[in-house]
Amino acid sequence: MNGAQILIECLKREGVKAIFGYPGGQVLPLFDKLYDSDIRFILVRHEQGAAHAADGYARATGKPGVCIATSGPGATNLVTGIANAYMDSIPMIAITGQVKTFLIGNDAFQEADVTGITRPITKHNFLVKDVKDLARTMREAFYIATTGRPGPVVIDVPSDVQLAECEFKWPETVDIRSYNPTYQGHPGQIKKAAKLIADAKKPIIYAGGGVITSGASEELKELVVKLNAPITWTLMGIGSFPSDHELSLGMLGMHGTAYANHSIMESDLIIAVGARFDDRVTGRLDAFAPHAKIIHIDIDPSSISKNVKVDVPIVGDAKMILGELLKEIKKIPDTTEWLKTVKAWKDKHPMQYKQDGLLKPQYVIEQLYELTKGDCIITTEVGQNQMWAAQWYKYKNPRTFISSGGLGTMGFGFPAAMGAKIACPDKLVVDIAGDGSIQMNIQELGTCICNKINVKVFILNNGYLGMVRQWQELFYKKRYSHVCITSPDFVKLAESYGAVGIRVTKKEEVRPALERAIAEDNVVFVDFVVEPEENVYPMVPAGEAINRIIGGLA
């Protein structure tokens, strides 16, 4: 076999069903063999779209997403998507072409030092200089990407290596002496955690994306119910626990619910599961949860005591550790009084918005929930649309909310929806977008139409880069510097590609438009023309303690 055939054989053996990518000079040998392969290949319109689609595919399934690009500009166009997957610990394999081995370092045409560029934004990367190393490298790459704390892995393959011949040998096992992730929690630490739980009066559970990665939702629910304790989650933790459960407080942090923030600030025990105390969650660090002891369950030791000092760290897999912890908990705290206090905050600061004036973006999302009742995969762009999608839709299942958490990548949602739809063709997949974000990867409309990837894009069109405008309104004296953005006629644009375009300007048009969009057997863009200066509330200004909530009705 030649290198290209080996690559494809490895992808097959790893169970890859779909690849997102774009051809080019240094992947010609690979594409020649892809021509004969039965792996589904989705030709995107821009490599960034391929990376985000692979990412969306991975988030929807838990399986690694795969993207391919050529050397130089092809590879650098993947970079944002790779960084995005890295920040959110998403398993992804990016295969890039490279100039021939003897040209590397010569500033050859379309050459870029891809392993150099992607080193700080990958879990690991490889430059394969010898075809004999290719099969083992592919095996290791998938192993690294999908185990421990997952992440993207780049494999840079010079075109002469793709052409070189060698005998194909599939390594049955992977053994990397320097890489041994911990899964089992330390029994002593789990005992200590159980003791802290027994002594707590005001416990709260704080769930992150790690719960979803590890598939620990069942165990998490058991813990919440057993302790009769309130639960809050991060943006990445959305879907780890049903939002409509009575113990759920919704998301916490900068745009979290007021009652989640008050609850965590007043708690005396935080049980953090697969969350990393990110600055968007903790606000001012030295004021964060001053009375709380912290149990921190995480598979990545470097996440522990990075931002917040932890009392009982437990390194390992969330599902396994929660299982062990549940067995270890003998004494359950009485949370009756605590839940009363939490309920009072819920009653005093409910999530609400003013139903006056023009069409409200929150209303659109509420209506989408009313129509779908959680049976839908929602991806988001980044900014106000993302926060409204996080706040106003009631997610019930893991992997139904797909959003760029750590990196905050505008332009993520549409290609991610594409990836999710390829992974789950029978599911309704909706991208909740803003008029700014959608224009960052709008070229993927072509991909969706050509491949019949019938995603629905709901644009909350307020004519602004809304989140930046909101910050300028609140913190820069309403000096709206370069945030007013014009858009094409999204209806005509959709139609020009062969998609369906619908415009909605009034409240009463929302429900029929959503119904039609879902019913259409096509890609649909709905342009919701909404209140231009609606803000996302509640809000905690950056750097403030998270109970210092400003504005709105909250």
Partner 1 sequence: MRHTISVLVENKFGVLARVAGLFSARGYNIASLAVSETLDPSISYMTIVVEVKDESILEQIMKQLNKLIDVITVTDFTKKEHADRELVLVKVDYSAKEKAKLDSVVKKYAAKIIQCNDDNVIIEAVGEQTQIKELLETLNKFGIQELIRTGRIAMAY
Residue 395 CB partners (closer than 8 Å, separation 6+)? 238, 239, 242, 243, 374, 378, 401
Q: Which one of 107, 167, 172, 178 is in contact with partner 1 (CB under 8 A)?
A: 178
Q: Which is nearer to partner 1, 114 or 500 (CB)?
A: 114
Q: Which is nearer to partner 1, 114 or 295 (CB)?
A: 114
Task: Compose the 511-530 pattern: x for residues touching partner 1 by CB under 8 A, - for all others.
Answer: --------------------
Q: Which is nearer to partner 1, 284 or 306 (CB)?
A: 306
Angstrom distance (rounded) from CA 102 to CA 300? 39
Residues 444, 238, 222, CA angle at the centre, nearest 5°? Answer: 145
Tell me how many residues contact partner 1 (CB under 8 A): 17
Which of positions 241-280 make contact with partner 1 (CB under 8 A)? none
Least distance to partner 1 from the beta carbon of 181, Å? 10
Least distance to partner 1 from the beta carbon of 180, Å? 10
The secondary structure element, H or E, covering residue 153 is: strand 152-158
For residue 538, is the peptide bond before it cis, meaning its omega torsion is within 30 degrees of 0?
yes
Closest C-alpha to 195, from 334, 331, 335, 338: 331
The alpha carbon dihedral of 71, 76, 77, 81 has a sign of positive
Closest C-alpha to 252, from 457, 510, 540, 451: 540
Q: Which one of 32, 222, 300, 544 is in contact with partner 1 (CB under 8 A)?
A: 300
CB 296 within 8 A of CB 312: yes
Angstrom distance (rounded) from CA 298 to CA 185? 9
Give SS3 for 521.
coil
Angstrom distance (rounded) from CA 527 to CA 477? 30
Look up tokens 């909310």; give the residue: 401
Q: Which is nearer to partner 1, 117 or 418 (CB)?
A: 117
Task: Compose the 381-400 pattern: x for residues touching partner 1 by CB under 8 A, - for all others.
Answer: --------------------
Look up tokens 């990445």; give the residue: 236
Q: Which one of 107, 167, 177, 286 is in contact with partner 1 (CB under 8 A)?
A: 177
Q: Which is nearer to partner 1, 53 or 144 (CB)?
A: 144
Piece in contact with partner 1 (CB under 8 A), picked from 13-21, 85-93, 298-306, 426-434? 298-306
Piece in contact with partner 1 (CB under 8 A), picked from 81-89, 175-183, 271-279, 284-292? 175-183
Q: Which one of 39, 176, 225, 285 is in contact with partner 1 (CB under 8 A)?
A: 176
Least distance to partner 1 from the beta carbon of 179, Å? 5
Which of positions 98-127 make contact with partner 1 (CB under 8 A)? 115-116, 119-120, 123-124, 127
Q: Which is nearer to partner 1, 117 or 402 (CB)?
A: 117
Q: Which one of 1, 61, 110, 179 is in contact with partner 1 (CB under 8 A)?
A: 179
CB 24 within 8 A of CB 34: no
Angstrom distance (rounded) from CA 271 to CA 204? 6
Piece in contact with partner 1 (CB under 8 A), picked from 39-47, 200-208, 295-303, 453-461? 295-303
- 306 belongs to the binding site for partner 1 (CB under 8 A): yes
Cα–Cα distance list, 404 to 387, 390, 407 (Å): 11, 12, 6
Q: Which is nearer to partner 1, 8 or 121 (CB)?
A: 121
Q: Which is nearer to partner 1, 179 or 183 (CB)?
A: 179
List the strands of the sheet with 248-251, edge to edge: 248-251, 231-233, 203-207, 269-273, 293-298, 312-315
Q: Which one of 144, 295, 377, 457 is in contact with partner 1 (CB under 8 A)?
A: 144
Which of positions 453-512 make contact with partner 1 (CB under 8 A)? none
CB 231 within 8 A of CB 241: yes
CB 235 within 8 A of CB 88: no
**Site residues, partner 1 (CB under 8 A):** 115-116, 119-120, 123-124, 127, 144, 176-179, 300-302, 305-306
